[in-house]
Amino acid sequence: MEIYKYIIFISKIKMEIKEFAIIYSLAKYQEEDLVESIIDTHFIEKFPVKDLIEKRIFFITSEKLNFIVENNKIILQVPNPVIMLFFICILRYPSRLTQELKNSQKNIKKRIILAILNTFYEVDVFTTISSGKNYPIEFYFSKYTRKFKTHVIHYSQNSIDIQFEDQSNSTPGNTMVDEASLGDIHWVWSQNYANYLNKFNSKIEFRAVGPIIFKIPQVFDIEKKNVITIFDVAPLEKYKKNNFYNDKLAIDFLEDIINLKTYLFELQNTQIRIKPKRQLNRGVHSIEYFDYIEKLKKNSKIEILLWNSNPYEIVAESKLVICIPFTSIALIGKELSNNVIFYFPYQKTLKNPIYNNEIEIIYGFENLKRYTKIKLQDDF
């Protein structure tokens, strides 16, 4: 039955199979967002990963089998793209596959996979930072034996060990790139981040292209609302005691922003809202923090936005965006030339090499009041 489904899929593709991308390691919501982006008329113009927008066919690893044709793009959501391509080779390009198999010197499994991929023209293989160091098998072939390129998409850039200014001057570590990391090209948000990661692996090409969130970064004429939008990081129950993002920081961060309305009369009619980074889950996130958020909502002190809302729209319509250090979304505020800051509720200076001269950090409640009051004069 599975073979039959693949053959039916193949029969739907009328064009030659070339100029395609294989995409791994997307979360379900990222998969949905990417599919919407690909069929969007602004995809070629607005999507930041340039080697992806040039493709005509997209094999997206998915739990389901699905076939979409729209705007001259073909999207195939399949559990295993390589198996799908194997059937395509057998049915459409048997002579090419046979020749590639003769050229390969690897063991039989690797020979077949390499031969399958080398059968096609203009192929790029993508994964995301979600895969960690467990790369798809395509990443382990030498550049000298393969005809395709490999890519890693960084959909955030907050992987750096957070340090304080009074700590040693050693380069802080990160959880994304080291000497063993693979991928011909890594797509990242900022040049600072590209320069930083290059120190850990100079063999990789790091391309800074702006925020990558799998949604189209399209902002139309959105009117500013009288709102302050907060982007936080909810503490995880399992790690909340030994993590920078702990209950005390998360609650103090929110409490100070809520208290702005008490001390600044100009904010009396201003709505404060929060966009969670992930869907809040009592079984995963800190129970204390979860209860605190629910209490704020019940007392009408804060609005909780949908976690998967388009951050471009949310940022564009906000008069002020306040982010907990160092969530990547702050760079969207910068890209849109909006008022955006990191806020740290304590008087202890943080250091982070990828945000130097990028996003201003405000320390302590008095400085937050002062900053907000100045912005009130211009924008509120």
In this predicted model, what pLDDT tens digit does every residue of 262-300 receive, in sequence order?
A: 999 888 889 999 998 888 777 778 889 889 999 999 999
More confident residue, 221 or 321: 321
Task: Mark whether 72 and 149 lie in a shared domain.
Answer: yes
Q: What is the pLDDT of residue 258?
A: 95
Residue 242, domain CATH: 3.40.50.2000
Domain range spanning residue 190?
Answer: 2-208
Q: Which two tokens stand for residue 217?
A: 């970064």
Is the pLDDT at 369 greater than 90? The verdict is: yes
Q: What is the pLDDT of residue 1?
A: 64
Task: Mark whether 26 and 153 lie in a shared domain.
Answer: yes
Task: Mark whether 51 and 128 lie in a shared domain.
Answer: yes
What average pLDDT is seen over the chain?
Answer: 89
Q: Which of 208, 239, 260 is the last residue of a domain?
A: 208
Tell me whether residue 220 is in a domain: no
Tell me whether residue 368 is in a domain: yes
Tell me whether residue 222 is in a domain: no
Q: What is the pLDDT of residue 30?
A: 95
Is the pLDDT at 259 greater than 70? The verdict is: yes
H helical segments located in the chain: 2-12, 28-38, 43-46, 50-53, 81-92, 94-103, 108-118, 191-198, 247-263, 287-298, 311-316, 330-335, 365-379
Asked if residues 294 and 203 have their Cβ atoms less than 8 Å apart, the reply is no
Q: What is the pLDDT of residue 279?
A: 80
Task: Mark whether 192 and 293 lie in a shared domain.
Answer: no
Q: What is the pLDDT of residue 379?
A: 60
What is the Cα–Cα distance from 311 to 370, expressed in whole angstroms? 26
Task: Mark whether 106 and 6 lie in a shared domain.
Answer: yes
Q: What is the pLDDT of residue 169?
A: 63
Task: Mark whether 172 and 241 lie in a shared domain.
Answer: no
More confident residue, 272 or 241: 272
Tell me whether residue 218 is in a domain: no
Q: What domain count does the chain have? A: 2
Q: What is the pLDDT of residue 9?
A: 72
Which residue, among 353, 29, 334, has the nearest Cα to 211 in the 3D structure? 334
Task: Mark whether 243 and 162 lie in a shared domain.
Answer: no
- Tell me the per-residue pLDDT of 62-83, one tens digit each, with 9 for 90 and over: 998 898 999 889 999 999 999 8
Q: Which two tokens stand for residue 380?
A: 């509120």
Tell me whether residue 271 is in a domain: yes
Task: Mark whether 320 and 200 lie in a shared domain.
Answer: no
Q: What is the pLDDT of residue 189?
A: 96
275: three-class secondary structure by DSSP:
strand
Task: Mark whether 189 and 74 lie in a shared domain.
Answer: yes
Lowest mean pLDDT, pick from 162-166, 240-244, 301-305: 240-244
Tell me whether residue 177 is in a domain: yes
Tell me whether residue 216 is in a domain: no
Task: Mark whether 173 and 79 lie in a shared domain.
Answer: yes
Average pLDDT over residues 113-117: 93
Asked if residues 228 and 259 have their Cβ atoms less than 8 Å apart, the reply is no
**pLDDT band for position 133 (cuts 50, 70, 90):** confident
Is the pLDDT at 242 greater than 80? The verdict is: no
Q: What is the pLDDT of residue 315?
A: 93
The percent of residues above 70 in pLDDT, for the chain, comes to 95
Q: Which of 208, 240, 268 is the last residue of a domain?
A: 208
Measuring CA to CA, how many Å separate 237 from each of 86, 244, 266, 302? 44, 13, 37, 22
Q: What is the pLDDT of residue 22?
A: 97
Work out the angle at residue 262's Cα, subtended by the Cα atoms of residues 259 and 264, and round it to the nearest 5 degrees.
105
Average pLDDT over residues 312-330: 93
Task: Mark whether 290 and 335 lie in a shared domain.
Answer: yes
Task: Mark whether 253 and 374 lie in a shared domain.
Answer: yes
Q: Which two tokens stand for residue 315?
A: 């940022």
Phi, psi angles (nearest 5°) of residue 251:
-75, -45
**pLDDT band for position 4 (cuts 50, 70, 90):** low
Q: Which of 208, 241, 267 is the last residue of a domain?
A: 208
DSSP secondary structure letters along 51-90: HHHT-SEEEEE-SS-EEEEETTEEEEEES-HHHHHHHHHH
Q: What is the pLDDT of residue 168?
A: 66
More confident residue, 173 or 68: 68
Tell me whether residue 112 is in a domain: yes
- Tell me the per-residue pLDDT of 177-220, one tens digit each, with 9 for 90 and over: 999 999 999 999 999 999 999 999 999 999 999 999 999 887 66
- Tell me the per-residue pLDDT of 49-61, one tens digit each, with 9 for 90 and over: 999 999 999 999 9
